[in-house]
Amino acid sequence: MPNLSFIFAPLQPMKKLFTVFILSLGVLQANAQIKWLPRFINKMYFDKDSTRHSSFVVLPVLSSAPETGLEIGGAGLYSFYSDTLKKSITKVSNVYGYASVTTKGQSRFSLSTTYFSPQNQWHVYSAVSYIHFPFNFYGIGNSTRKADGELVDEKRFRFNIDAEKLVTKNLYVGAVAGGFNYKYTNADPTSSLFETDPQVQDRSGGANVFFGPSLIFDTRDNNTYTSKGAIITAYYNLMHGILSNNNYISGFLNIEYSQFFKLSKKLILGVDIQEQSLTGGRSPFYLLPTLGSDEMMRGYYNGRYRDRNFIAGQTELRYRITERIGIVGFLGAGEVAHGDFSINTLKPNYGGGLRYFFDTEKGLSIRADYGIGEKVQGEARQSGFYIGLGQAF
């Protein structure tokens, strides 16, 4: 199931505002209510209501990077239960929205929802997003160089819906469907990489629709802050091009396994493994699995490494200092490959972070993570700072 988080790709660690924001919440939460704060702020960040009521939280978006200039916007998360029975096993549902603009004319918007019907008989996820966001393109493969990076302009519209039915205990079976239209323009047409590298296929983008089977096996005790249990998600998108891309046929496979162990009352160990593969004869560069995000392989610029196959694993140790404050440490490795994977080319990542639980009953949190990756010869060590809603996995 997709994680509810907004991604700040590895940027300069100048986003101190977010860190101060989270730490300030931790200091202020000494009492259940901070009486001098407006009532709606108390309700969003400090309310200790243990009933199965709905909750809503908003966050400012304020960031800066050489690629974006100043980014300003907001994010909101509305969480609820489809039933409110005290002893119900129904998992929490939510609606999540994110929007931002930058001083360089970039913008992004997304709206998604995750819904569990009463007694978890159905799981439904849907999302729609639009992005106009130039990014750094470094080439194809597991050993690209930072010096080869060049700016590519991206305009992307995507929508999808996943629906799974509980067919037996803990096992959901269903389908995924959706479509997208990606458009790309090279900011420097004289480039010798994006324009001339034969590995870069379909560099102008394309439109596709997709449909395929999906499966979820879920034994977690909580889907927002898991202390024990496991979840396995798998789907296969059968893609067919439309409009000017109608001769394209391919598939995309995703499998992810996560397991959680409660080592003590406050200490949890999580393990996460993911594999992705693009199938079919052609390899549109924008459909290739990429390494690096705020969920997996934290510390790598998302898209610095991309190819037809991707595999990564991570383990995370989570310690709940108080009911409001937590810390984590994580360690992982991963790579992309055109064919078979090799243990000799795995890239490492490690780091740590803070958590502030603004809804202790549902286990909803704000997180700040700093991830560190490999040091390529002649380059600074790769790293990234992330702010988001919810756990990494």
Segment 305-322, tens digit of pLDDT: 999 999 999 999 999 999
Half-sphere exposure of 289 (CA within 13 A, CB side): 26
Domain that holds residue 160: 16-389
Highest mean pLDDT out of 60-69, 195-204, 252-261? 252-261
Is 380 part of any domain?
yes
Mean pLDDT of the 322-344 span = 95
Q: Where residue 305 sits, what CATH number does that domain have? A: 2.40.160.50
Is 241 part of any domain?
yes
What percent of the chain lies above the pLDDT cut of 70?
A: 84
Residue 184 CB coordination number (10 Å): 21
Specify the pLDDT at position 70.
Answer: 67
Give the contacts of 290 (CB within 8 A, at least 6 positions apart).
302, 303, 304, 305, 306, 310, 336
Is 351 part of any domain?
yes
SS3 345: helix
Is 8 part of any domain?
no
Mean pLDDT of the 156-173 span = 95
Is 1 part of any domain?
no
Specify the pLDDT at position 37.
Answer: 54
Q: Choose between 209 and 58: higher pLDDT.
A: 209
Q: If you search the block for the tokens 């490959």, which residue do you land on?
A: 337
Highest mean pLDDT out of 21-35, 87-101, 173-187? 173-187
186, 194 contact by CB (below 8 A):
yes
Q: If you search the block for the tokens 């009521």, which residue do you land on?
A: 53
- Strand ranges (DSSP E) for the chain? 55-65, 69-80, 93-102, 107-116, 122-132, 135-137, 150-168, 171-186, 205-218, 229-242, 249-262, 267-279, 290-291, 305-306, 309-320, 325-337, 347-359, 364-372, 383-389
Among residues 74, 61, 70, 123, the alpha carbon closest in space to that of 94 is found at 123
What percent of the chain lies above the pLDDT cut of 90?
A: 55
Is 182 part of any domain?
yes
Specify the pLDDT at position 253.
Answer: 97
Strand partners, 356: 325, 366
Half-sphere exposure of 84 (CA within 13 A, CB side): 8
Mean pLDDT of the 156-180 span = 96
Is 299 part of any domain?
yes
Give the contacts of 79 (CB within 8 A, at least 6 positions apart).
54, 55, 56, 92, 93, 94, 224, 359, 362, 364
Q: What dihedral angle (degrees, nearest 10) is formed by the CA atoms of 275, 280, 286, 288?
A: 20
Tens of pLDDT, residues 70-80: 678 888 889 89
372, 38 contact by CB (below 8 A):
no
**Whether the predicted pLDDT of 36 surpasses 60:** no
Q: Choose between 2 and 327: higher pLDDT.
A: 327
Specify the pLDDT at position 50.
Answer: 53
Least confident piece of the model among 13-22, 67-76, 90-99, 320-329: 13-22
225, 390 contact by CB (below 8 A):
no
DSSP string, 84-142: --TT--PPPEEEEEEEEEETTS-EEEEEEEEEE-GGG-EEEEEEEEEEE--EEE--SBS
Among residues 138, 137, 25, the alpha carbon closest in space to that of 364 is found at 25
Residue-level length of the chain? 393
Specify the pLDDT at position 250.
Answer: 95
**14 pLDDT tier (thresholds 50, 70, 90):** very low
Specify the pLDDT at position 24.
Answer: 52
| Mode of pairing for the β-strands spanning 267-279 and 347-359 | unpaired
Single pTM value for the model: 0.81
Mean pLDDT of the 182-207 span = 87
Half-sphere exposure of 128 (CA within 13 A, CB side): 0
Specify the pLDDT at position 102.
Answer: 80
Q: Choose between 329 and 222: higher pLDDT.
A: 329
Mean pLDDT of the 258-265 span = 96
**235 pLDDT tier (thresholds 50, 70, 90):** very high
Q: Choose between 29 and 254: higher pLDDT.
A: 254
**DSSP classification of residue 285:** G
Question: What is the pLDDT of the chain when averaged over all its residues?
Answer: 85
Count of the separate structural domains present in the chain: 1
**176 pLDDT tier (thresholds 50, 70, 90):** very high
Is 58 part of any domain?
yes
